[in-house]
Structure 1
Amino acid sequence: MVVNREVQESVKRKSRAFKDWRVRQAQREEEQYREEEKDSRRKVGIGIGKAIEQLNERLRTKEGEKDIYKISKLKKKQKQDLSQLVVIRDRDGNILHRDDDIKRIWRKYYDQLLNTENEKKEQKEAQRVEGPVVEI
């Protein structure tokens, strides 16, 4: 967001008024802080509105159409949770962290696991036990 000088000064005045109010604990300083806070919120809101208007105007241009894809890609990356970052190694010991590489490795692993025949061991015939089973 492009912040103009007027918004920056308003926020600084609000910050100074807050510090004065906390130090002096006077009614007059509290009223001054509340006024500066209202003014600051209003100016920040106007600044955000202007920034959104400028962005919308830019998105309507030919270069803006390309920016739409960049913005959506950026938003997708921002939504990814970094605490859930998955890193695995392939058979050669290379570290993989991209989603498509990890999916490919898991696909190979499960394909091999589920589509191979297991060797079956021959079982010996056991002797039959006749009569009631003795309780232990």
Structure 2
Amino acid sequence: MRQEFLREVRLPHHNIMVIKRVGGEVLGKTSGKKPPDDKETWWWNDGVKKVDKAKKDAKMIWEKFGQQEDKERYQRHKKQVKKAVAQQKARVLDEMYEELETPEGKRKIHRTAKSRDKNIKDYSHIKRVKDGNGVVLCNTDKIKKRWKEYYEHLFNEENPRKFFEDGFQNLGKTYC
């Protein structure tokens, strides 16, 4: 295939078509669609993965050759995947619901709810600040005091004034 590619590339008017064709043969083609963001596969077992792989292979064959029998085979595999996914999902959810009925499951629910609540909170202020020596402050009053010191230093710090070659010292005043 490489010699064929090199032979055909030497003809300048065929370069683009040859590169596209060989690239498609070597690398394959995509549908241009990305997988859905909300597709959950955490509960798939090996059987579902095997059926899904067979469906994907059947789709690639159908796209490559475009035969009616390949299309029918892909559609059969697609139905099998839907059935296997539905059965496995129902099985896993039943097991999960049974587990949640136990005392350990109830603790798990509370941990999950607490974790989700913590993750969605938007903290609008910082709870830990370092003082001038780099020690972390945890006390709210000390944090407020440190912020006050920081801003007093920031806003009251004097910057050196510059002299211009032919002018006067900049006193920070503007006259219009």
Per the TM superposition, whether the score is higher than 0.5 is: yes
Tell me how far apart the structure 2 counterparts of residues 92 and 2 of structure 1 sit (CA, whole Å).
49
Give a deviation string over 1:79-108, Cα, whole Å, max 9, x none: 579xx99879847378xxxxxx9xx69xx5
1:60 and 2:60 are equivalent in the alignment = no
What is the correspondence of 1:1-136 to structure 2 with a 5 Å cutoff?
1-76=42-117, 90=129, 92=131
Tell me how far apart the structure 2 counterparts of residues 14 and 79 of structure 1 sit (CA, whole Å).
38
Output the amino acid matched with 1:92: D
Tell me how far apart the structure 1 counterparts of residues 120 and 80 of structure 2 sit (CA, whole Å).
33
Give a deviation string over 1:15-51, Cα, whole Å, max 9, x none: 1111111111111111111111111011111111111
CA RMSD of aligned residues (A): 3.5
Tell me how far apart the structure 2 counterparts of residues 87 and 15 of structure 1 sit (CA, whole Å).
49
Tell me how far apart the structure 1 counterparts of residues 125 and 71 of structure 2 sit (CA, whole Å).
50
How many residues of Structure 1 are paired with residues of Structure 2 in the alignment? 100
Gaps of 5+ in 2: 1-41, 149-176
- Deviation of the 1:56 alpha carbon: 0.5
Gaps of 5+ in 1: 95-100, 113-136
Q: Normalising by the residue count of structure 2, what TM-score does the alignment of the two structures yield?
A: 0.45
Change (3 A) 1:62 1:12: same
Tell me how far apart the structure 1 counterparts of residues 115 and 76 of structure 2 sit (CA, whole Å).
37
Output the amino acid matched with 1:43: A
Tell me how far apart the structure 1 counterparts of residues 90 and 52 of structure 2 sit (CA, whole Å).
17
Tell me how far apart the structure 2 counterparts of residues 51 and 80 of structure 1 sit (CA, whole Å).
30
